[in-house]
Amino acid sequence: MTGKVYLVGCGPGTPDLLTIRAVNVLESADVVLHDRLIDDHVLEHTKDEVEEIYVGKKAGESNKQEWINELLVSKAEEGNVVARLKNGNPVIFARGGEELQYLKEREIDVEIVPGLSAATSLAPLIGVPLTKRGVSSSLSILTGVGRGGSDPSWENVGDTGVVLMTVKNLSRVVEKLTESKMSKRTLSVLISSGSTSDERILVSQLDRIPELAEFVGIELPSILVAGEVVGELLDIKGRTFAAFRPFQRLDRTKELAMEAGGIPYVYGICKPKIPHNSNLKENISEDGDVIVFMSPTGVEVTENLIDFPEIKAIAVGNTTAKALREQGCEHITVPEKQSSDGVQQLLKENNWDALALRSAIADKSLEGALNVDAYIMEPVNVSKAINDYSNNEPDYTLLTSGGMIEILLTEAEKSGEKRNLIEKINESFVLSLGRKCSEFAESQGIRINYEFPQPSLESFFK
């Protein structure tokens, strides 16, 4: 007597998203064929004497499908109940449809057991609704690589676009989405190994997501969700928001978070101090075309050393420019790219004789300028801040510089708590003020979820 084949969807990854129907099939199966991404715990639902056969395919092994088809038929013809396990839903961007046809043509009894598709389940699992009144009324599900390498239909993509199998050609996917109806600034999220312990979430505007994905090392399996619904991940209303800041930045950071509806836990961990052996005053007194300020702190520590209305200044960003204006500085230039690279490009274009006021813990010198250590950040009550942070479970953690991270991790290492602190940070949604901060964080095992397009708190909390 011929048996039966069940094409079973096992959900996006974690075994607790199996359907009851899938569990019932597994418990009755004589033979189980499973793919590479099936969690081992899924197979614990099978009976002791079950025959397990691994049929996972690697890239370039598409010819293996014919062997799988024949194996399904032969096992069923032996009278077995056969469970063919696939991630997600077996007939959404999988080979389930082909297997279904192959079995039916050979008169094998076959049944589809739907599972939660990664396309429709991973975004909700991290808090992103795929449709939302007034934001998204249409949804498109596409694959980054079409059948035989051909393109899916990119025309008229919905308000929300979900793209599976996208990492290897992410730049082209972004190009196609923006050619359709989405702008380059449309928010998107890459979800890698979704719903598993290896899950990685990366949020960015579409035009930045390919470069950021390469930077942090996003790997397969991953999906891309693009659309304004992704903004839910950056909405801090009613959510707890933690940040480690210099003491003079505490009030402003709290104020911004509260104005955005967040519940702030802002910890002061350092104060600026001019080094004892600094030649700052002598360098400032020398003639030059322009003074570069890389942060508002550089403005604050020199307020009694500089006649601000008389100088020409470069401010790395709008917040620093605001601090300069408050000191009476009238001639301020902000580079188009608000970063060290932007300042260096500005200096090169204008051939200015520049003095750059830096933190002593800045990661590298500014090319094209005389770099002076204007201040050091003196740690204050760091262990208390770490303890208070660890006792809370913030939804968001803001990291503003490599220097702030270094102060935290140096103190945590003294007590043997460095690894615990990194794990605690990674349990939250981690915000980075800019690339230099992200680079240091990632080098320490801290996983950045969102990097500000502009290094300004005001730009995030608007």
150 band by pLDDT with thresholds 50, 70 and 90: low
Calpha distance 210→196 (Å, rounded): 23
The mean pLDDT value for 70-92 works out to 96
- pLDDT at residue 148 above 60? no
Strands 450-451 and 331-333: unpaired
Is 165 a catalytic site residue? yes
- The percent of residues in the chain predicted with pLDDT above 90, rounded, is 77
In this structure, of 25-29, 296-300, 446-450, the range with the lowest mean pLDDT score is 296-300
- The percent of residues in the chain predicted with pLDDT above 70, rounded, is 97
Which residue ranges form the domains of the chain, and what is each CATH number? 4-116 (3.40.1010.10), 120-233 (3.30.950.10), 240-270+379-460 (3.40.50.10090), 273-376 (3.40.50.10090)
Tell me the angle at which helices 170-180 and 209-216 cross, rounded to the nearest 10 degrees: 160
Q: Are 165 and 147 in contact (CB under 8 A)?
A: no
Catalytic residue among 4, 159, 165, 182: 165
In the numeric block, the tokens 């909405």 are attached to 235
Is 57 a catalytic site residue? yes
CB neighbour class for 381 (10 Å; exposed up to 12, middle 13-18, buried from 19): middle
Q: Are 361 and 400 in contact (CB under 8 A)?
A: no
The more confident residue out of 296 and 146 is 296
Calpha distance 318→199 (Å, rounded): 35
Catalytic residue among 35, 182, 404, 424: 35
Tell me the angle at which helices 382-390 and 418-426 cross, rounded to the nearest 10 degrees: 50
- pLDDT at residue 17, rounded to an integer: 96
Q: Are 122 and 195 in contact (CB under 8 A)?
A: yes
User: What are the tokens at 167?
Assistant: 């990492």
How much is the mean pLDDT over the chain? 92
Catalytic residue among 57, 132, 181, 312: 57
- pLDDT at residue 46 above 80? yes
- pLDDT at residue 377 above 50? yes
Is 294 a catalytic site residue? no
- pLDDT at residue 149 above 60? no
The mean pLDDT value for 363-375 works out to 85
- pLDDT at residue 363, rounded to an integer: 67
The mean pLDDT value for 140-150 works out to 71
- pLDDT at residue 238, rounded to an integer: 97
The mean pLDDT value for 33-60 works out to 91
3-state secondary structure of 410: helix
In this structure, of 60-64, 224-228, 313-317, 446-450, the range with the lowest mean pLDDT score is 60-64
